[in-house]
Amino acid sequence: MTLANQISLARLGMIPVVIWLLTRYDGSVEWPRIAALTVFLVAAISDAIDGYLARRLNQRSRLGVVLDPLADKLLVNITYVFLVVNPGLDTPVPAWIPVVILSRDATVVLGAYLINEYYTPVRTRPDVLGKVTTWFQMGGVVAVLLQLNEGFVMGLLYAAVGITLLSFADYFFAGLRQAHTEERTT
């Protein structure tokens, strides 16, 4: 197993820790929020590190193609759900935000499956907009956990949702183009 994949697995392992810490935070003591922020930041930074190592050390693998984005999506989606249900945070996260983020991710995965199943193997391509989306989503989590000014936090969350929707449109139209250029297999 490559070093990059080990880092992705470690990021997956950090998700339950972040969630456990968020469930312990009720606003009465700060350590669970600060610890959740710290673990989340380490997990977010590990996303950049594993990608860099995979490219730099030529450790790209079929497992890594699945594992890295899976770890990112689970980290972001699950953390947002637990931010929504945590009443101790200074800035409450609207429930529709993780719905939008999770819907985008689920739709992209479903679309990739359908293209793969009925047309041709999906040509995945890491793109700048997808990475920017992930970083804005992660930045929203960090801003909430830092308990920054509510107006700033909400602006960042709305920006993350806007970029998420742009990214969805980009993936959607790329999928349509790929499906229309390939012959149907069934």
- Mean pLDDT for each 10-residue chunk of the chain (186 residues)? 92 97 95 98 94 86 85 96 96 97 92 80 76 95 97 98 95 82 60
Position 185 scores a pLDDT of 52
Query: What per-residue confidence (pLDDT) applies to 66?
Result: 84
Q: What is the pLDDT of residue 124?
A: 67
What are the CA-CA distances from residue 83 to residues 50, 103, 113, 186 (Å)? 26, 17, 30, 43
3-181 to CATH, choices 3.40.50.740, 1.25.40.420, 1.20.120.1760, 3.30.360.10: 1.20.120.1760
Tell which residue, 80, 82, 65, has the closest CA to residue 137.
80
Neighbours of 78 (CB within 10 A): 17
Q: Which amino acid is at 52?
A: Y
Q: Domain boundaries in the chain?
A: 3-181
Token pair in block for residue 90: 């200074």
CA distance 50 to 79: 20
C-alpha span between 75 and 87 (Å, rounded): 20
- Amino acid letter for position 21: L
Question: pTM of the entire structure?
Answer: 0.90
- Please report, for residues 65, 90, 138, the alpha-carbon distance to residue 130 in angstroms, rounded to integers and kept in the order given: 14, 29, 12
